[in-house]
Amino acid sequence: MLENYFPVLMFMLVGLGFGLAPVILGRLLAPYRPDSEKNSPYECGFEAFEDARMKFDVRYYLIAILFILFDLEIAFLFPWATVFQEFIAAGEIAWFVFGSVMVFLAILVIGYIVEWKNGALDWE
Amino acid sequence: MNFVVPDFYPAAAEIFVAVMALVIMLASTFARSVARNLAYLLTQATLIAAAFITIFTMEGEVVHTFSNLFISDLLGDVLKLMIYFSTAIALLYGRGYLADRKIDKPEYYLLALLMTLGMMVMVTANHMLPMYIGLEMMSLALYTMVAFDRDSARSTEAAMKYFVLGALASGLLLYGMSMVYGATGTLEFSGVAQALYNQTANQTVLMFGVVFLVAGICFKLGVVPFHMWVPDVYQGAPTAVTLVIATAPKLAAFAMAVRLLIWALFDIAEEWQMMLMLVAAASIVLGNLAAIAQQNIKRMLAYSGISHMGFMLLGLLAGVVEGDRHFALNAYSSAMFYAISYVIMSLASFGMLILLSRAGFEAENIDDFKGLNKRSSWYALMMLFVMFSMAGVPFFIGFFAKLSVLQAVVAAGYFWLAVLAVVMSVIGAFYYLRVVKVMYFDEPVDSSPIHAAPEVRVMLSANGLAIAALGLAPQALMSLCAFALLRSL
């Protein structure tokens, strides 16, 4: 059973080698004469203007989180949509299946209203 | 297609709390000016109403619904009632504290309610997936609550530690669940139990899974060697949040342990009992010894909580001896009694810390209790009750809790464990008594009178008196635990 995973192991080893080999070869074959100028950080040839560890705006982060939430909602709807036809054929149960998804959507809509009202969607 | 509309009636309380959470979310968004009070009052009303719904829908027998994902039994109902009460009391104590620090946002109460819902799902899960969903729902709300004072570096650090370690523990738990699924072919607790009974499971894979499950449970209970987060989180979180973490989630973790270990894995009890034995002994030793060194009382109570959870595990590990299951009911009900009485004591101890704190001052060192008797002899007496009870001084509830788990351990024949636990609790009595000594025999550093809302005074007094009263008559609570387990097993 374990030998079935041999290709996976090979894949990992090849992937690792592919990443490491150029770095190691470059270090071994290329000329290597560091000095303080070469090692110092620079921005397009200039001296660095500021520290790289600066605060950045988290607005992107909020939008990204909200995007993931509502994106997942769609992911849940796809399997439901594909089997819904069969439930309609089954009769009575279809309303229950339809209703449960509507409850799920209603919860998301409430979340949407709350985030809108609280200003999470305002860029400024 | 065989699919039937499930019976919603047994889950009425869960559905009610979920709907109310949405109502509070909308109400506090649209009525921003009164949102704080509105969210608080609605949350308390929801918890009380949920208690009534749970009482009215109580069937006294085991009911399954939602394709066996959900179980409604007396054990779950009793634990749910305790969860509502302890959450409600914790929110009552914490309200003034949060208002003094300007962090009493409506979202706090919303998170507390969602945490309660998560715990209810855990308590009534009959399948590993709802168990996991409930656990995550509870934990995510707790991580956020720990970070609620977001300008405080200590509380965000605590939240980060809690989050990272909690995610790791969830990973361990899920890995364990997948292994158990691999071995037994089902995630449903009764199905797992059936597969173990038929001995169709692959033993190696199963044991692998059980080790991970036990590790996940131990993390949530906060016992050695998965205790690292407990002192840091207890100390770093705002005291009102520490109060929440130290109470109801312990009951939910107890429920998780009972459902996973006893409902699903009872047939291999001897295997996980061995693991719990080591964990319990290590927790009792480390918790009591490390607590002695603490000057910060929140940290001290955290270590004391580690040792208390170790004691609680003593009850869980004494159920089966060499295939003999006679002791099981007694042992498990003693563990349940221990968990409930720890929650009552824990509420009062952190409640006292909140009582002594005020705007701009955090009561968190043992020195802050100096001369409490001169400032208010009544609350000094209440704290004395709590400390004596936690130390296990006779005729407080903590004494009977310790006594019943020790009886279970002795009945199971683990004398060395009982002796170790007794010796360690005598050592542990030192740091509880130190607080009492400081309150009665030292001069007060700060002699300002105690300010607190009247409802907090009444509730805290009732809480302290309950510790004494339940100690005088522990029989009722003990037989309730035994009865609930008997009707559920």
Instruction: Give the gap in angstroms from C-alpha A41 to the nearest C-alpha of chain B.
Output: 31
Which contacts (CB < 8 Å, 24+ apart) does range B103-109 have? B103/B148, B103/B149, B103/B238, B104/B36, B104/B40, B105/B36, B105/B148, B106/B24, B106/B28, B106/B35, B106/B36, B106/B38, B106/B39, B106/B40, B107/B28, B107/B39, B108/B39, B108/B145, B108/B148, B109/B24, B109/B39, B109/B40, B109/B42, B109/B43
A110, A112, A115, A116: best mutation site toward chain B, by most B Cβ within 10 Å? A110
Contacting residues of B for A114, CB less than 8 Å apart:
25-26, 29
Rounded Cα gap, residues B286 and B283, in angstroms: 5
> Contact, B12 vs B55, CB < 8 A?
no
Rounded Cα gap, residues A90 and A96, in angstroms: 12
Secondary structure of residue A47 in the 3-state scheme:
strand
Of the listed ranges A34-43, B46-55, B157-166, B234-243, the least confidently predicted one is A34-43
Interchain CB contacts (distance < 8 Å): A and B: 23
Whether A118 shows a pLDDT value over 90: the answer reads no
Hey, is the C-beta of A121 within 8 angstroms of any chain B C-beta?
no
Total length of chain B: 489
Instruction: Give the gap in angstroms from C-alpha B50 to the nearest C-alpha of chain A.
Output: 20
This complex has an ipTM of: 0.79
Average pLDDT over residues B213-230: 92
The rounded Cα B289 to chain-centroid distance in angstroms is 22
Rounded Cα gap, residues A50 and B186, in angstroms: 57
Q: Is pLDDT larger for residue B479 or for residue B60?
A: B479
Predicted pLDDT at B2: 63
- AA identity, residue B195: A
Contacting residues of A for B204, CB less than 8 Å apart:
none
Per cent of chain B over pLDDT 70 is 100
Q: A46 - beta bridge partners? A: A43
Whether B132 shows a pLDDT value over 80: the answer reads yes
Contacting residues of A for B25, CB less than 8 Å apart:
110-111, 114
B4, B7, B29, B105: best mutation site toward chain A, by most A Cβ within 10 Å? B29
- Answer whether A87 sits within 8 Å of B1, measured CB to CB: yes
What DSSP line would sit under B343-373, residue for residue? HHHHHHHHHHHHHH-BTTB---BGGGGTTHH
Hey, is the C-beta of A93 within 8 angstroms of any chain B C-beta?
yes
Q: Is B380 left (phi over 0), alpha (psi -120 to 50) or beta?
A: alpha
Dihedral angle at the C-alpha atoms of B336, B339, B343, B345, nearest 10 degrees?
110
Tokens of B101: 């620090």
- Answer whether A114 sits within 8 Å of B29, measured CB to CB: yes
- In chain B, the residue whose alpha carbon lies closest to the alpha carbon of A87 is B1
Instruction: Give the gap in angstroms from C-alpha B28 to the nearest C-alpha of chain A.
Output: 9
Contacting residues of B for A87, CB less than 8 Å apart:
1, 3
What DSSP line would sit under B446-458, residue for residue? --PPP---HHHHH
Rounded Cα gap, residues B489 and B61, in angstroms: 10
- Answer whether A86 sits within 8 Å of B1, measured CB to CB: yes
> Contact, B78 vs B484, CB < 8 A?
yes
Rounded Cα gap, residues A28 and A25, in angstroms: 5
Q: Is pLDDT larger for residue B455 or for residue A58?
A: B455
> Contact, B348 vs B467, CB < 8 A?
yes
Predicted pLDDT at B1: 47
* A 58-77 near B (Cβ less than 8 A): none
Q: Is pLDDT larger for residue B325 or for residue B406?
A: B406
Contacting residues of B for A111, CB less than 8 Å apart:
25
Rounded Cα gap, residues B207 and B198, in angstroms: 16
The beta-carbon neighbor of A93 closest among B3, B26, B30 is B3
Rounded Cα gap, residues B325 and B123, in angstroms: 24
Q: HSE (CB half, 13 Å, CA atoms) of B452?
A: 22
- In chain A, the residue whose alpha carbon lies closest to the alpha carbon of B3 is A93
pLDDT digit string, tens, across residues B371-380: 888 888 899 9
Q: HSE (CB half, 13 Å, CA atoms) of B366?
A: 20
Predicted pLDDT at A56: 67
Note the pTM of the prediction, 2 decimals. 0.88
The beta-carbon neighbor of A118 closest among B1, B3, B29 is B29
A69, A114, A121: best mutation site toward chain B, by most B Cβ within 10 Å? A114
Q: HSE (CB half, 13 Å, CA atoms) of B488?
A: 27
Q: HSE (CB half, 13 Å, CA atoms) of B75?
A: 30
- Answer whether A93 sits within 8 Å of B22, measured CB to CB: no
Whether B62 shows a pLDDT value over 70: the answer reads yes
Instruction: Give the gap in angstroms from C-alpha B35 to the nearest C-alpha of chain A.
Output: 13
Mean pLDDT for all residues in chain B: 91
Whether B464 shows a pLDDT value over 60: the answer reads yes
Secondary structure of residue B188 in the 3-state scheme:
strand
Predicted pLDDT at B87: 96
The beta-carbon neighbor of A110 closest among B4, B5, B22 is B22
Of the listed ranges A23-27, A51-55, B248-252, B306-310, the least confidently predicted one is A51-55
pLDDT digit string, tens, across residues B388-439: 999 999 889 999 999 999 999 999 989 999 999 999 999 999 999 999 999 9
- Answer whether B1 sits within 8 Å of A90, measured CB to CB: yes
Whether B88 shows a pLDDT value over 80: the answer reads yes
Whether B64 shows a pLDDT value over 50: the answer reads yes
Q: Which residue has the tokens 């100390």?
A: B235
pLDDT digit string, tens, across residues A63-108: 888 888 888 888 888 888 888 888 888 777 888 888 889 999 999 9
Average pLDDT over residues B279-293: 94
Q: Is pLDDT larger for residue A54 or for residue B239?
A: B239
Instruction: Give the gap in angstroms from C-alpha B286 to the nearest C-alpha of chain A.
Output: 40
Rounded Cα gap, residues B309 and B303, in angstroms: 10
- Answer whether A117 sits within 8 Å of B29, measured CB to CB: yes
Average pLDDT over residues B188-214: 90
Q: Which residue has the tokens 């809108």?
A: A116
Hey, is the C-beta of A82 within 8 angstroms of any chain B C-beta?
no
Predicted pLDDT at B133: 95
> Contact, B218 vs B165, CB < 8 A?
no
pLDDT digit string, tens, across residues A17-37: 999 999 999 989 988 888 887
Nearest to B357 by CA among B448, B253, B294: B448
- In chain B, the residue whose alpha carbon lies closest to the alpha carbon of A106 is B22
Tokens of B210: 């059980």
Whether B4 shows a pLDDT value over 80: the answer reads no
